Structure formats: C-alpha cells, structure tokens
Chains A and B, each alone.
Chain A
Amino acid sequence: RKEVEQDPGPFNVPEGATVAFNCTYSNSASQSFFWYRQDCRKEPKLLMSVYSSGNEDGRFTAQLNRASQYISLLIRDSKLSDSATYLCVVNPYNNNDMRFGAGTRLTVKP
C-alpha cells in the first residue's frame, strides 16, 4: 500500500462548480498534512496546511479525519485558474521527510 494515495482524476468541472478531493494515508502516527498545487511543467507550491480542526482559506477548505486517515480539499466556486494538479502531502515521521501523493488533476472549463 502506498503511503499516500490520491484519486488521479482527471476531474473536469465547469466554472463555478464545487469540487472535492480526498487523500488517504497509511501511517496513523502522521503529524502534519498539506495540500500543494502544481501547474503544468512548474514546481509544486504550498496551497495550505491542514489542521486537526479543519481550516479555510477563501474558497478552499481543508479537513482532516484522523480516525479514517484521510484528508480532503474542497474548492468552491471553481475558477479557470484553479486548473492544476493538487498534491496531498503527509509528514509520517515527525521530521522534515514529507511523503507526496501522485496528485489529482483538475481542469475547470468555461
């Protein structure tokens, strides 16, 4: 079993839609969780951290379910500019060694 698993997609949604991605992780002792965004042929960039109580940043909401070992990312009112690959990142060993999911590709269409 991979340490971090994501649905690869692609997710194709119209502008204005709400879309959600899930990610599961295998190490129940994992401490830190992140979502990164990667545009085509670019480097990954930190989108948001995921906190135990859930957190929101504008149209983006991240949630953590430790019992089921998954994290989610919700994007409301999708914009064309949201088209990218979203990487789920988990810190399973409480050090700087992050483990990356393979990414979920999102395309937002007019």
Chain B
Amino acid sequence: NAGVTQTPKFQVLKTGQSMTLQCAQDMNHEYMSWYRQDPGMGLRLIHYSVGAGITDQGEVPNGYNVSRSTTEDFPLRLLSAAPSQTSVYFCASSYSIGRDREDYGYTFGSGTRLTVV
C-alpha cells in the first residue's frame, strides 16, 4: 500500500517555465488537495477536489491549475513559474467527511521541493 505518491521530489525551474507535479493515491480517497508550505506561514491550500471531475480553488490558487480525471490522480500544473512559487508542495488525500467516518485526517505525500530561479 503506497499511500500518496508525489513526483518529482526536487525540481529547479527557470522563470517562465511550466511543469506538472504528479500526485497519486491508492487508498480510494475521494478528497485530494495541494498545499504549499513556506517558512513561518504554515500549509496553505492551493486547489482541492472532492471527487473525479470536480475541482475548486483554495486559498492561493493563482498561477496553478489542477484536474481530476480519475479518483487516483490529482496533478498540479504550474503555468509560468515565478520565483514566488519557490516552496515545498504537498499533496494530501482523505476520505470525504460525508462518509461519516472519524478517520478523515489527511495522508500526505512526501513533498516536492521546487526552486524557481
């Protein structure tokens, strides 16, 4: 059981380049999300999805796109990288709160460290 798998683990981009961060989970979780973590600011929500075909914006969505064509995969696309997007990115998944389960805490991927120069 792999849990949440993120790739790549590290990436350096030049300003203006685009790239896709991959996220896959094998726990049949309905909910998936992307966060960025910056020093002193905690985790901030970029985009989230409550199920295949449904996505929505979080707190800091500008400059990022997502899609959810399957339950398992939730890629994050940087459209035109900027130095302000230098951060650690985490993908997370959980059961939907509507399932009436108490264990809907998040499972996180191991993160992608992105540097934009």
Contacts and interface: CB of A to CB of B under 8 A. Distances in A.
Interface residues of B, number: 25
A96 B50 contact: yes
Contacts of B50: 96
A98 B41 contact: no
B22 interface: no
A21 interface: no
Interface in B3-56: 31, 33, 35, 40-45, 48, 50
Given A8-B40, A44-B43, A103-B42, A96 B108 contact: no
A97 interface: yes
Contacts of A32: 97, 104
B42 A96 contact: no
B33 A96 contact: yes
A95 B97 contact: yes
A43 interface: yes
Q: Most chain-A Cβ atoms within 10 A of its Cβ — which of B31, B35, B108?
A: B108
A108 interface: no
Contacts of A94: 97
A34 B105 CA distance: 8
B105 A96 contact: no
B42 A100 contact: yes
Interface in B64-109: 90, 94, 96-97, 102, 104-109
Nearest to A91: B97
Contact of B102 (A44, A49, A97, A100): A49
8 contacts: A44-B90, A96-B31, A96-B96, A96-B97, A97-B58, A101-B42, A102-B42, A103-B42
Interface of B: 31, 33, 35, 40-45, 48, 50, 58, 90, 94, 96-97, 102, 104-111
Given A43-B109, A97-B45, A97-B48, 14 more contacts: A32-B104, A43-B90, A43-B108, A43-B110, A44-B108, A45-B108, A96-B31, A96-B33, A96-B104, A97-B33, A97-B58, A100-B35, A100-B42, A100-B44
For the complex of A and B, list the 8 residue pairs with the smallest distance between their C-beta atoms, beginning with the closest: A43-B108, A102-B42, A100-B43, A46-B105, A96-B31, A100-B42, A43-B110, A96-B97
